[in-house]
A and B are shown apart, each in its own frame.
Chain A
Amino acid sequence: MRAVRKSSTRTTYSAGSTSAGLFPERELRQIIERVLRLAKSTEADETEVHVDEADESLTRFANNAIHQNVAEHGLTVSVRTVVDGRTARATTNRVDEDSLRGAIDASLSLAHSQPKDPRLLPVPGKQRYRKVERFARPTATLTPEDRARAVRRACDLAVKRGQVAAGIFASGQSQTAMGNSRGLFAAYRETHAEFSITMQEQPAASWAKANAADVRDFDPQQLAERASEKAHRATNAQELAPGRYTVILEPSAVLDIVGFLFYDFAATAVADKRSCLNDRMGKQVFGKNISVVDDAYHPLQLGAPFDGEGMPRQQVLLVDRGVPRNLVYSRASAKLAKKKPTGHGFMLPNEYGEAPVNLVFSGGDSSLEKMIASTERGLLVTRLWYIREVDPYEKIMTGMTRDGLFLVEKGKVGTAVRNFRFNQSLLEMLQNVELLGPAVRATGEEAFEMVVPAMKVRDFHFSEVTKF
């Protein structure tokens, strides 16, 4: 699951692309300037424009063959006007002058329909941004043939081993630019690639996935090998009784469950009293081995160095040795709390405020191998699935294990185990972490990518068992 930048181990692909690609940044800037110019002749007091463009491809395979293979190009222009203390947004994907004028008019019409908002802030002026480089040409030029050949190799491996492969190989590039009538301009572009595979050996299955800006940072065949080997080990699963177990959570499993904590660190969520951190800030909520920072500049993170209002993203220490210390703020929530904005605001107008989106957990000096070796009896969890919040304040989460659950006994990985349903408080879980591995860029299906370690956790609560 990790994406380590080592040029010597990089996968190679042919150069060349059949996609339309992205417009140069100057063309996005021209669209923004055209909207600002058009808005000047309206009653808008202020105007903000976002232009987002995506050029994405995804090759999907199942039953050892490609069954879906898609590409898309899209560009949207989103206009927010402010008139007499009121604001609203209108979005279009057409860039001719009539359509842009139509978006401005629609935004103004929406804005007029509401009462004046005394808390509405003026749009921010020019900002300075830290440079981040997350555009890899080998990803941008990846062809359908490149993806198909990699898929073919993975499928051939499955056929050779009597297994059935399913998954995706996706690649793409996107950019966002924003500007406003006070002279702010920000732009960012990135590439992203992802390979995910499930290997099925009836009645079992296992899974591996990686995601990075540079497609050469992971090897699809290595992921296919890992999933294949684990699927083979996962056959003949035995049924264990539900109860509390020591679990060793691989990074994807950690990511997908702790991902449900991120919005609780929004100042707006706390102000709305829907965060589990209400009345808990500054207290020893998690174990002393848990520290979390939101850091858009971490080398394993992706994403723009500015937020939906154009404010530069700040690094924010959210949890310091188990104690929630700071929240993230939009400009509005910062003003209410008499704090500085942290560059985590969503595009306005919205009711949710802000959220940290580049979470980085501190790791430890253990490893999956050491965790297994130190475990008398426990379970090794590949991934968690269909996680939902049962109790928002105690942060009880439910979900299933999936694609490889193994019994660990006397320091060794043993037989596969039938999948369990868990009902586990996330607060309690993060008090019960015994060991942490190195923090890696993890990817799952329930939360966006984060930098998290593998964790060994005691007393994880499994409430029921399923049929496989």
Chain B
Amino acid sequence: MWDISTHALDTARLRGAKYADVRVMHLRQRDLTTKNGQVGTLAQSESIGLGIRVLASGAWGFASTDRMTREGVSACAAQAVSIAKASAIAKRKEVVMAPEEAYVDSWQSPFRKDPFEIPLETQLALLLAADAEMRRVKGVTLTETDLQFRKIDSWFASSIGSRIHQRKMISGCGIVATSFQGDEIQKRSYPNSFGGQHALQGYELVESLELLKHAPRVAEEAVALHAAAQCPQKTGTLILGGSQLGLQIHESVGHPIELDRVLGEEANFAGTSFLTLDKLNKLRYGSDIVNVVADARLDHGPGLGSFAYDDEGVPAQCTDIIKAGEFRGYLSNRETAHLVGLKRSSGTMRTESWNRLPIIRMTNISLLPGTWHSDDLIADTDDGILMDTNRSWSIDDRRYQFQFSTEVGWEIKNGKKTRMLKNPSYSGITTEFWNSCDAICNVDEWVLWGTPNCGKGQPMQTMGTGHGAAPSRFRNIHIGAAFSKS
């Protein structure tokens, strides 16, 4: 792959590029699903191609191709330069890139069991067994299960001399039981909704999650929700389960700290951010116990945002985002780092595939663990609602006002988890919410959740991000607005 990459870089330079980087990527994916005891999707795909980003006439151009011959790659590199020159027609200032070292390296994410080597029959048998367990429960009207595996090889080469090969193995799985009864549809998912849990791991992730063991409970809870009381509308105490808190971090911390959003580069589509540059090191984002990092290093865990180098050739780093409640940092790249006084990119440029331009992306944006045990947290709560497993999420285009609903709620009275509540939801303003956090559970209950479906950019790119979270408590939260009538 280095020959073809070098050829692309040479062509770009000869055509007038002052800087260029190339990504050759080979992506393999397998998807298995079942529905109501039958196989649903059973598909495998592979894709290989090359994308080249160039800086010419002081402006950016990017082209990609699946024609991996020398002629095809030459044409692609020439096209990127010609696009960059066209970009200069509407240029306002020169691009300035933070300095970076050249790296020559090869890295592979660790895994114990290659999911592509596990017999398909074994994988399908697991899904069909979990599906059958859920269907055993009377009142369940739809059962779904899924497995997804990805193996991604990328070869990064840049005109400053980097040559980096990375291989990532990603696994994911989940189960869902749905029940239609009377005039409502209720569902429960495990280990998370919208595809389950995903991580930078092999088949060992699937085995560790014990889908079969959890299937009966998931199905029973889906049916039980029909008879549960409606979540009340009130202002009160909220405890969030880890997976829901992971999504809360994603939407109300992860996106607003993306420096491209802050600088208006996503204004037409994903939106901007309330975290304008004047707020850095000044804004009280959360309470004293709130500490959030952006950590792409493997030391943080096998998250969907873990890697050795980003897609701009910058090594993985850990950046303080919120420290003791204070807003401390953004996600940056080589082009934007200097705008927030950094000498170096924070290493967050990521691309979905060879045919997409790397853009600033979340890595693992995690709320660091606190000191509580969840039993103690509930025992310490006189009157509250525990909400778990996301059902819907929505936030405004500057990331102030949000509303989430979850699949299930549990009333907490006098330190005890009591009755089940259906249709729970909560809403608020980002900084008010994080400032109301008064308890975070400890490392024993901290899980690095994977969000496999984060959409951003035009053309749209889907990226996996990681979010470490443990159950946490928030005070004076607006609960139940989603189902209010007035």
Residues of chain A having any CB pair with chain B under 8 Å: 18-20, 56-76, 78, 87-94, 106-107, 109-115, 117, 119, 143-145, 147-149, 151-152, 155, 164, 166-168, 170, 196-198, 200, 205, 207, 243-244, 272-274, 278, 349-351, 385-394, 396, 398-400, 402, 419, 421, 423, 445, 461, 463-468
Contact = CB atoms under 8 A, between A and B. Distances in A.
Interface string B227-267: 00000000000000000000000000000000000011111
Contacts of A274: 142, 178, 180, 185
A57 B400 CA distance: 33
Contacts of B128: 115
A26 B47 CA distance: 23
B86 A147 contact: yes
Nearest to A19: B79
B377 to A, nearest CB: 27
Contact of B90 (A114, A148, A464): A148
A57 B63 CA distance: 9
Q: Is the interface of A mostly helix, strand, loop or mixed?
A: strand
A152 B89 contact: yes
A217 B450 CA distance: 43
A62 B66 contact: no
A151 B90 contact: yes
A273 B180 contact: yes
A166 B355 contact: no
Interface in B447-486: 458-459, 478, 481-486
Interface residues of B, number: 92
A113 to B, nearest CB: 3
B59, B75, B482 — most chain A CB neighbours (10 Å): B482
B65 interface: yes
B392 A110 contact: no
B481 A423 contact: yes
A371 to B, nearest CB: 24
A45 to B, nearest CB: 16
A305 B230 CA distance: 46
A197 B392 contact: no
Interface string B8-47: 0000000000000000000000000111101111111111
B434 interface: no
A67 B265 contact: yes
A91 B46 contact: yes
B395 A386 contact: yes
Contacts of A115: 39, 128
B86 A423 contact: no
29 contacts: A19-B79, A61-B90, A62-B266, A63-B265, A69-B84, A70-B64, A75-B66, A88-B44, A92-B45, A110-B42, A113-B119, A148-B87, A152-B89, A207-B268, A272-B35, A272-B178, A273-B141, A349-B42, A386-B395, A386-B396, A389-B392, A391-B483, A398-B403, A402-B396, A421-B396, A421-B401, A463-B484, A466-B398, A467-B398
Interface stretch (B105-113, B217-225, B340-348, B423-431): B423-431
A393 B39 CA distance: 26
Contact of B83 (A70, A423, A467): A70
B484 to A, nearest CB: 6
Contacts of A90: 43-45
Interface of B: 33-36, 38-49, 51, 59-67, 75-76, 79-80, 82-84, 86-87, 89-93, 119-121, 123-124, 128, 141-142, 144, 178, 180, 183-185, 263-269, 271, 274, 355-357, 359, 391-398, 400-401, 403, 405, 423, 425, 427, 429, 458-459, 478, 481-486
Contact of A93 (B48, B123, B483): B48
Contacts of B183: 393-394
Contact of A62 (B82, B265, B274, B486): B265
A31 to B, nearest CB: 13
B267 A423 contact: no
Given A272-B36, A464-B401, A113 B482 contact: no
Q: What 3 A-B pairs have minimum CB-CB distances, sorted nearest first?
A: A351-B40, A113-B120, A144-B86
A18 B81 CA distance: 11
Contacts of B271: 385, 402
Contact of A390 (B38, B76, B123, B392): B392
B76 to A, nearest CB: 8
B48 A94 contact: yes
A20 B41 CA distance: 33
A387 B396 CA distance: 10
Given A69-B86, A421-B401, A400 B396 contact: yes
Contacts of B48: 93-94
Contacts of A463: 403, 427, 481-482, 484
Contact of A66 (B41, B59, B82): B59
A88 B43 CA distance: 6
Nearest to B43: A89
Contact of A351 (B80, B87, B144, B274): B144
Contacts of B356: 70, 72
